[in-house]
Structure 1
Amino acid sequence: METVMELCCTRLAACLVIPLVTTACIGAELDAESEALLGEAESALESDNGFLSNALSVNALSVNSLALNALSVNALSVNALSVNALSAIRNPGANGALSRDLLRYVVSCALRPDQTFSFSWTDSAGVAHPEVYRGDLGYAHWWTTTPLGTATTNNTYVQSQLTACLAARMNWYGISVSISLRNNEMTSTPAERAAYPVREGAFWGNLFSTTEAPFLRACYSSAPGSIARARQVQRDCAVGHVSVDPVTGATTVQQCGPMVIVGSCETVCNGVDYVNGFYRGCLVNPSASPWLRWDQVMTTFLKPAPSP
């Protein structure tokens, strides 16, 4: 499977429930029911090669929105969702918009192109809005009938692939950025590799687990020009967002919500695929263990800077 993704944010955010290990760009720790990382997605196949219009941004936060680890205990169908999940996606307010945006993301990563998730919600004026979200990558196409994870069925591999799929799309600014996503299930053509040669970084974790604490990690490529190119196109979640205090001029590097940037990929990852260039695995948590590795990693690639 080969996938190039176009990040094109129209409205910011949806929320991923995860214990906050940092308050870098969130500002405060939320309770277990509403800890959130927000994002927004607009998904549509653009070609037979798996081009996908999408976006994920952390420019806004919301509480009481759709929780991923709660979503995973039911089948991914409108008839199987919990009362709380249905209430979240049918909410006519701002939180409802965030929940629907996140659900659109989840569906695009989880279901196949021939599968859809359909429902409707009613706005404050009483106008009904039908929604049809189409799948694309098919990481968990069976989720429509079988829960993704429960106390007895914890599909860690699939949950991790879905998490990497979502995390790799995160964009601090929510602007259009074209990226190439690659891992052991998403390879690339020679043309794609030629068009997207700049390895930006990698993303991994598990936001869907119902038996372990959810987590999200990222690393950046320290190859010459990679960090500069990522910041040039405003892709700051792997390299960190540079913030300058308007009063003091002090510079700080912020992370994207609860996503923990653990350093350079060259230091924490290994086993680079010699054809497609993706990392085969990265350390789960380098600060805790120098050898425990996570194999469900998504590596992102950017287009080079235009020739002068």
Structure 2
Amino acid sequence: MELSCARLAALFVVPLVTTACIGAELDSDPEALLEEAEGALEGDNGYLINALSQNALSQNSLTLNALSQNALSQNALSQNALSTIRDPGTNGAMARDLLRYIVSCALRPDQTFSFSWIDSGGVSRPEVYRGELGYAHWWATTPIGPNTYVQRQITACLAARINWYGVSVRISLRNNEMPSTAAERTAYPVREGAFWGNMFGTVEPAFLRACYSPAGVTRARQLQRDCAAGHISVDPGTGATTVQQCGPMTIVGSCDTICNGTDTVNGFYRGCLRNPSVSPWERMDEVITTFLPPAP
């Protein structure tokens, strides 16, 4: 799934393609490798950047804070949250896509979140959101509450799947809880960058950060994934270039200087500075490193 920040006014208009592969740029070999790698921690990226903004989270009844107080199931949601995900308007579309990505990050493939809503034409729209990565599979029955470790893992998972353009790109997500198989590492060898933060805003103030792996910047931009290194914008009048960040995400520089080394087998960054502009030593382990397929 892909989270995009290209259209700030149109939230979550790009459909999530959970079965899509990395596209026409690659032959079938990487997919075959991943079919061989049972349980590989790879997923799509999508159009989530606006839903994770502070303004959206503060105005939306389906806030991460509210979700953390309940089990991740339809029966456990508050009436306000249910009304929000059933809203046929823009707010409802944003809430549904945010929920879809949360379910994908938190639950396992054998777990789902199902409900229905009525669109503006009076047509019933059934929704079935299936888990993928299982970072907090027990959330289906038990609130995660003020557990900052889980909140940070879910936030990192959401951040890692943001994409400026909303295009479907298959990526590999890895960290100290979620290692990879040999087949996955072969299919996705290009380290893109790392993502971390906590957007729940309960125990600690909300924040979202990213860094880039210098060797992966070119490939990331080839695949239209700009949120680790920044989106390059060209002024049509002057030709000057600027680097823009993805919504609330703060890009803090090269992971090689922000993070404390990589796992020797899986290649993920073992931890990164929580806020390098404030402290050069306070690190976070709840970091997700993303990997991309190689150039054809």
Q: Say if 1:38 and 1:59, in contact at 8 Å, map to a contact too.
A: no
Please point out which of 159, 178, 183 is paired with 2:170: 178
User: How many pairs are equivalent?
Assistant: 273
Please point out which of 89, 102, 108 is paired with 2:104: 108
Shift of 1:191: 2.3
Aligned to 2:118: 122
Q: Residues 71 and 37 from structure 1, CA distance in 2 versus in 1: closer, same or farther, beyond 3 angstroms?
A: farther
Amino acid of the residue matched to residue 80 of structure 1? Answer: A
Shift of 1:291: 0.2
Aligned to 2:153: 161
Equivalent-residue separation in structure 2 for 1:142 and 1:38 (angstroms): 30
1:271 paired with 2:267, answer no
1:208 paired with 2:200, answer yes
Aligned to 1:97: 93
Partner SS for 2:178: coil
Partner SS for 1:171: coil
Task: Tell me how large the CA RMSD over aligned residues is.
Answer: 2.7
Amino acid of the residue matched to residue 170 of structure 2? Answer: S
Shift of 1:102: 1.2
Amino acid of the residue matched to residue 199 of structure 2? Answer: L
Aligned to 2:287: 297
TM-score (norm 2): 0.83
Amino acid of the residue matched to residue 264 of structure 2? Answer: Y
Q: Say if 2:41 and 2:133, in contact at 8 Å, map to a contact too.
A: no
Structure 1 gap ranges (5+): 1-6, 14-24, 28-35
Percent of pairs with identical residues: 67
Please point out which of 201, 218, 230 is paired with 1:228: 218
Please point out which of 32, 37, 45 is paired with 1:55: 45
The superposition leaves residues 189-215 of structure 1 with CA deviations (integer Å, 9 ceiling, x where unpaired) of 222222222111000111124122111
Aligned to 2:26: none
Equivalent-residue separation in structure 2 for 1:92 and 1:37 (angstroms): 13
Shift of 1:99: 1.1
Equivalent-residue separation in structure 1 for 2:13 and 2:274 (angstroms): 23
TM-score (norm 1): 0.80
Amino acid of the residue matched to residue 141 of structure 2? Answer: T
Shift of 1:58: 5.2
Q: Residues 103 and 160 from structure 1, CA distance in 2 versus in 1: closer, same or farther, beyond 3 angstroms?
A: same
Aligned to 1:281: 271
Equivalent-residue separation in structure 1 for 2:111 and 2:148 (angstroms): 22
The superposition leaves residues 152-201 of structure 1 with CA deviations (integer Å, 9 ceiling, x where unpaired) of xx111111111111111111011122211111122122222222221110
The superposition leaves residues 206-229 of structure 1 with CA deviations (integer Å, 9 ceiling, x where unpaired) of 112412211111000123xx2111
Structure 2 gap ranges (5+): 21-33
Aligned to 1:74: 70
